[in-house]
Structure 1
Amino acid sequence: MKVLVTGTAGFIGSHVAQVLLARGDEVIGVDNLNDYYDVSLKQARLDRLIDQPGYTHVNADIADRAAVEKVFADHIPNRVINLAAQAGVRYAAENPHVYVSSNVTGFLHILEGCRRHGVEHLVYASTSSVYGANTNMPFSEHGSTEHPLTLYAATKKANEQMAHSYSHLYGIPTTGLRFFTVFGPWARPDMAPMLFAKAISEGSPVKLFNNGHHSRSFTYIDDIVEGVVRTLDRVPGKDPDWSGNKPDPATSGVAPYRIYNIGHQQPVQLLHFIEVLEDCFGKKAVKELLPLQAGDVPDTEADVSHLIANVGYRPKVSVEEGVANFVLWYRDYYKV
């Protein structure tokens, strides 16, 4: 297939592109390499892709309507994976406009490209943050997402609703993936595991909000990527081998539209995650206990029963195995 992947200089996008290329797909990668965080890390991810057969890179911002229209017109992709977005939950308080520009307006441009060029399936990144104030555990796709606690979560909830409208009006198969606390090699420097690793390796304080009493469905990057690729291959309403092609009455009922959680089913206490990092680095963390931050969700736990039933997959990499791989990469990349 020819697959358009946005955000290929990003953490998840670069890994997804690698897997698609390895299995023989052609990948059209789109990224603007913005300076929200270290551009050299983004370039290093992209350097792993750029010379591979089957990869074509387009330097563009999905918020640029003309640029997105040109990508679709020039390359006519069969399927699309939209992973480009303004990331970071807390940064939205400082720069809200960029979140709407990239995550909402940019997503509209992707939807329009899919509509105008007959794309077979759009898979896009959502987030477990959409569950917001919902305290019913584990988080299920059938649960409430009406009360997001951050603007970032609100933009991702908007993506899900926009996708549903396009699926209903134009018959475009769409699948939204709610990722749960992704970690692993090549992660963003603003993500908690990277911040923890940096602090432990340097001997500086590890800031633990909510006094470290958070629990998270930490999910290793390889598990996320396998979920993305498997759902790409499972087209709602079109896959002749899939008996679940009727709309899901709990999330739609009228459209070729799916929402899946992708997260490890065993939530991990934050303090245990720190302990595993300590073991891998061979150093104790200097812990700085802080109160719960506004917008933080104390706990997350993923219900992946629908992913298992419809896609035949569940995340399986343990936090111990995943952290060990992550620390090996971290030591090598940052020379520590």
Structure 2
Amino acid sequence: MTLAILITVIVIALAFDYTNGFHDAANAIATAVSTRALTPRIALLMAAVMNFVGALLGQAVAKTVQGILGLTANDVHHSLVIVLAALIGAIVWNVITWYFGLPSSSSHALIGALVGAGIAAGGSHAVVHWSKITDKVLLPMVLSPVVGFLLAYALMMAFLWIFRRSNPHKTFRGFRMGQSLSAAALALGHGLQDAQKTMGVIFLALGVAYPLTYGKQHNLPLWVVLLAASAISLGTYSGGWRVMKTLGRKIIKVDPARGFAAESVGATVLYATAYIFQAPISTTHVITSAVMGAGATQRFNSVRWNVALNIVGGWILTFPAAGLVAAGMYELLKLVLL
């Protein structure tokens, strides 16, 4: 029975990774597609490939996610049910926000779900490491969009000054070509950040089920890395057109220069938080705030702030909502599996 639940956890984790891919596909390519720098099909293929490559470039974020919950190996069956409830809760919230076209955070849905399932299970079965959540999740969650907004605003202001006497048509054509690189860099950062979160959950489950084999192993098994990388890439190629429409058109009409600025800043923030701070930040939060920052240089009221406020509301709601769904799933699974 325990082995069956472990296999189910791994399959559901990969399903979450897949939904993460199609939910967040718009993050890397919405601006490049909306400015016609890339066609939708080429953009999706590029994002899928770069997601896969990015997933192979680090493990620090995965280890942070793995350490959010402390699960006991004394009751393996119960511990795996907690992880399963968290994954189902995160998937349900991903599907809901994808259906309504709201670019919420898959990362915070997963972390909120882990916390919700852990709280529902109680201290005898799961311990939520609040200090790690504060330092590695909540603070970066607040700071990364602010940094993304300010850096994109500053970079776009620099572009406006540097190219103030240039031919607009030639300048935009250059930025449109540059967007192929900036969108690829952002997709690489998305793979680096988001695929690792699934790896961390799978490694958490393996460490509980086989503490002697995986509990003391420092690096993630290669098969876990490859499965997570493949799942998020397939999800990305499936596309996320509902969210893409919101991110690429409803917030602001993005031109190539602002698209390039937003994507470049977004990629930089993703790399810095993954390699320097080992923090599982939201790709969605960063690129959306960067789009708003680059757009605010045009005219402050050119940004559709009502849409932006709805998105921010989704960000705030994601963590507790996914946690509540996961807690409910835990109570349901407890009746069926425990």
TM > 0.5 fold call = no
Taking structure 2 as the reference length, the TM-score comes to 0.26
Of Structure 1 and Structure 2, which has the larger fraction of its residues in strand? 1
Which of the pair has the greater relative contact order for Cα pairs under 8 Å at 6+ separation? Answer: 2
